[in-house]
Amino acid sequence: MPPDRKQQLINSMPPSDLGDFLRHTNVVGQESQLCQLYSSYLQIPVFLETESLPEQVRQRTLPCVWPIALRSSSRSEVNAWFDRGLPNYLVFLTKTQINQITSINASCLAFQKIVSTLGSYNYSVTDFTNQDVYNTIKLYLSSATSPKCYDSNNPELNSTAWFAEYIGSFITFLTVVDLQSFGSQQDLQVFTVNPQNLLLLNQYKVDVTIIIYYIQLVYQQDNNFSPLGLPSLGQCFAPGRVFTQLTSQESLTVLGNVNRVCTDLDPQIAAALASNFGENIDAKVISALGNESTSLSISQIKSLKPSDLVDSLNIFSNVIGWRKGQAKAIILSLLSSGFVQINSSASLLNLGSLISGVPSTVFSSISGSDLVTVSRNPSVLFYILSAPQIVQLTFVIQARQSK
């Protein structure tokens, strides 16, 4: 072909003719010559989509067309490449092509597609790993002083679903240091309340340090953001005050979650959730509160129906951290209900952590031998030592009478 007419002549072939040509045996020789052919052909995405080539030809084709796809900058062009043209070729990706994402400085729209596509890629047959892909993502996103590919004035790049679009499933590799290299807190916090980004934190196992940092950014962006919109683990690190906006039913749902996933729940969160029930406390609420029942007020405890109080005894007796007034209020309510009697070693043991609230007069009515029996239980002794001094003294005096 005359050099000055090469492009014209190559483009005179419809995709079907070019496909027939490349399917001939031994037509494809040096990869450089194939790349020259593709560099002149203007219908490559259509050609790749409509023509089925032998595996060895497809394998040599990808290095030729990959850089062109990376540079595509319009939404329609990117979709033509990644949704229709390249799917049958991406299996031949190599670490070289992954590195080209940053060396060529792929367009933002092409980069979005790459993150989405490689999020569910089969890495078992490649010379690179998903960690390698994340390293490329990190290098790409940290190459700008503000969040790369975000422009509030550009309709194509003004989405606040930035984490979902440019990190995606690779968020499992993200560290706080990496995140801080992508932009300032003021820049990044704009993205944190986007539902698609929050969904990522629920979908994937993200490091807890990222969760904590992310939640801080959420409340810098919106100091009244509903905890219902947070990922499960994120609710553990939200400020306690934001939980007061929840209804009773919402509070039950959140309690079920935080008791399941939080290792050391902020007392302010527990107190806020408990306060949302007012004095409408029943056995169902107590079950949801679990060990957070220590957040109940005295008036809430006194508002419990006797039947709910008895049904909740197995939970109350295992709660650690009762204040003396709370434990005493529960015990007095139990005694006044008539459903519970405290007159033996067995009944004392059933009280568990509530023993610290038993009045001294009750211990005076229990036989010394029974008190000696329960004193052999280390837990009982621990709870007695947290009781008022008069109760401790009465316990000891009554126990000595058994001798």
pLDDT number for residue 34: 87
Q: What is the structure's pLDDT at 31?
A: 65
Q: pLDDT value at position 163?
A: 98
Specify if 401 maps to a domain: no
Among 112, 159, 155, which Cα is nearest to 137's? 112
75, part of any domain: yes
- Higher pLDDT pick, 403 / 357: 357
28, with CB counted inside 10 A (0-12, 13-18, 19+), is buried
Mean pLDDT value across residues 137-141: 97
Q: Is the dihedral of CA 11, 16, 20, 22 positive or negative?
A: positive
- DSSP structure string for 235-285: GGGS-GGGGGGS-HHHHHHHHHHHHHH-SS--HHHHHHHHHTTTT---HHH
Q: Is the pLDDT of residue 403 over 60?
A: no
Residue 392, domain member (yes or no):
no
40 is a domain residue: yes
Enter the pTM of the model: 0.85
Give 237's pLDDT tier (boundaries 50, 70, 90): very high
On whether residue 221 sits in a domain, the answer given is no
Q: What is the mean pLDDT of residues 265-281?
A: 92
Output DSSP code: residue 146: S
For residue 385, the model assigns a pLDDT of 87
Q: Are the C-beta atoms of residues 81 and 47 closer than 8 Å to each other?
A: no
The share of the chain scoring above pLDDT 70, in percent, equals 98
At residue 329, the pLDDT reads 94
* Average pLDDT over every residue of 29-37: 77
Residue 267 CA to chain centroid, in angstroms?
22
How many other CB atoms are found less than 10 A from the CB of residue 361? 10
Distance between CA 187 and CA 300 in Å, rounded?
Answer: 44
Cα 262 to Cα 247: distance, rounded to the nearest angstrom:
21
Confidence of residue 83 (pLDDT cuts 50, 70, 90): very high
Q: Is the pLDDT of residue 258 over 80?
A: yes
| Strands, E assignment, 85-132 | none
- Whether residue 84 is contained in a domain is answered as yes
Average of per-residue pLDDT across 269-294: 92
186-207 average pLDDT score: 96
Question: Would 151 be classed as within a structural domain?
Answer: no
Rounded average pLDDT over 65-80:
94
> What integer pLDDT is reported at residue 29 of this predicted model?
65
Pick the residue with more confidence: 33 or 278? 278
Neighbours of 165 (CB within 10 A): 23
Number of domains the chain is built from: 1
Select from 222, 218, 273, 265 the least CA-distant residue to 245.
273
Q: Does a structural domain hold residue 295? A: no
User: Measured between alpha carbons, how far is 395 from 50 in angstroms, rounded to an integer?
Assistant: 89
Mean pLDDT of 8-31: 84
Per-residue pLDDT, 30 = 63
Domain limits for position 78: 1-92
Q: Are 254 and 235 in contact (CB under 8 A)?
A: yes
In the prediction, which pLDDT does 343 show? 87
Look-up: residue for tokens 């807890």?
A: 208
At 290-348, the pLDDT tens digits run 989 999 999 999 999 989 999 999 999 999 989 989 999 999 999 888 877 888 888 88
Between the ranges 164-173, 282-291, 369-378, where is the mean pLDDT highest? 164-173
Mean confidence (pLDDT) of the chain: 92
Q: How confident is the model at residue 402 (pLDDT cuts 50, 70, 90)?
A: low
Instruction: Indicate if the pLDDT at residue 272 is higher than 90.
Output: yes
Asked whether the predicted pLDDT for residue 93 surpasses 70, the reply is yes
**Neighbouring residues of 239: CB distance < 8 A, sequence distance ≥ 6:** 219, 268
The per-residue pLDDT for range 56-67, each reduced to its tens digit, is 899 999 999 999
- Separation CA 381–CA 403 (nearest Å): 19
